[in-house]
Amino acid sequence: MSLLEVKGVKRSYGNLQVLRGIDMVIRRGEVVAIVGASGAGKSTLLHVMGTLDKPDSGTVSFDNKNLFRLSETELAEFRNRHIGFVFQFHNLLAEFTALENVCMPAYIGKWGTEKEIREKGKALLGVLGLSDRGEHLPSQLSGGEQQRVAVARALINSPDIVFADEPSGNLDSHNAEELHRLFFELRKEMGCTFVIVTHNEQLAEMADRRLMMKDGLLVDS
Ligand SMILES: Nc1ncnc2c1ncn2[C@@H]1O[C@H](COP(=O)(O)OP(=O)(O)OP(=O)(O)O)[C@@H](O)[C@H]1O
């Protein structure tokens, strides 16, 4: 079943045409890897798919609803409820504990009481092997642990789809492997859908589909 559909998406920065007409369909429960040379437009595409950036033309539809027809407020609400993001530099808030960071999107979305949200945050930290790290600040965690906190944060609102931009780009090979395994475990356990931009060939090989970007277009890989 199609979850997200991208049609004819184009995006330029000044004279630079970064996305030159992208069409793709993401099905529920898929793990899709997007690979390609530096500068090919992968992050730009991910940002447009995640509605963080608007295309110049073309559409992104979720459950057959054209997302860029929504107002900014509706779009922010939509992102909070349906989308999780994991970035290369996890962007955890330094002055908040791991658990508080994980719970932050839920406090914004307000789908439950503070107690309910904290319980879910703790449960997620448990799933990610971080039960005893909840009260630590990001600076007291290893790089791999910080990235797993970022994954828990991406999952707290039970998103339909998680976009990850070079999630293991900053990790050593052991931590990278652990993180990659986790994505597939989470798909199995929670039915999450993942779209992952990566330079990591091992991860791209593990994915259900590997899409290659070249000069702003998707090409056969
Ligand atoms: N905000 C911006 N303003 C101007 N140019 C930009 C902007 N964002 C990206 N670009 C340019 O668009 C092109 C594609 O960038 P993008 O980050 O999408 O590539 P990428 O495939 O993700 O690369 P990498 O693998 O190095 O992260 C690059 O040439 C980049 O310099």
If you measure from the C-alpha of residue 131 to the centroid of ligand 1, how many angstroms do you get, rounded to a whole number? 37
Is the distance from the beta carbon of residue 43 to the nearest atom of ligand 1 less than 6 Å? yes
Which of 3-17, 23-37, 84-98 shows the lowest mean pLDDT across its residues? 84-98
Q: What angle do CA 158, 159, 164 make, to 5 degrees?
A: 125
Alpha-carbon distance values, 186 to 106, 138, 142, 194 (Å): 19, 23, 21, 10
Is the distance from the beta carbon of residue 218 to the nearest atom of ligand 1 less than 6 Å? no
pLDDT at 113: 94
If you measure from the C-alpha of residue 26 to the centroid of ligand 1, how many angstroms do you get, rounded to a whole number? 22
Is the distance from the beta carbon of residue 216 to the nearest atom of ligand 1 less than 6 Å? no
Mean pLDDT of 161-176: 89
DSSP E strands in 107-192: the ranges are: 161-165
Confidence of residue 88 (pLDDT cuts 50, 70, 90): confident
Q: How far apart are CA 4 and CA 28, in angstroms?
A: 8
Q: How far apart are CA 180 and CA 168, in angstroms?
A: 8
Which of 52-56, 174-178, 201-205 shows the lowest mean pLDDT across its residues? 174-178
Alpha carbon nearest to ligand 1 atom 27, residue:
38
- Whether pLDDT at 106 is above 90: yes
If you measure from the C-alpha of residue 43 to the centroid of ligand 1, how many angstroms do you get, rounded to a whole number? 7
Query: Which residue would you say has higher pLDDT here, 172 or 70?
Result: 70
pLDDT at 221: 67
If you measure from the C-alpha of residue 197 to the centroid of ligand 1, how many angstroms do you get, rounded to a whole number? 13
ipTM of predicted complex: 0.94
Q: How far apart are CA 137 and CA 8, in angstroms?
A: 43
- Whether pLDDT at 80 is above 70: yes
- Whether pLDDT at 1 is above 80: no
Tens digits of residue pLDDT in 24-35: 999 999 999 999
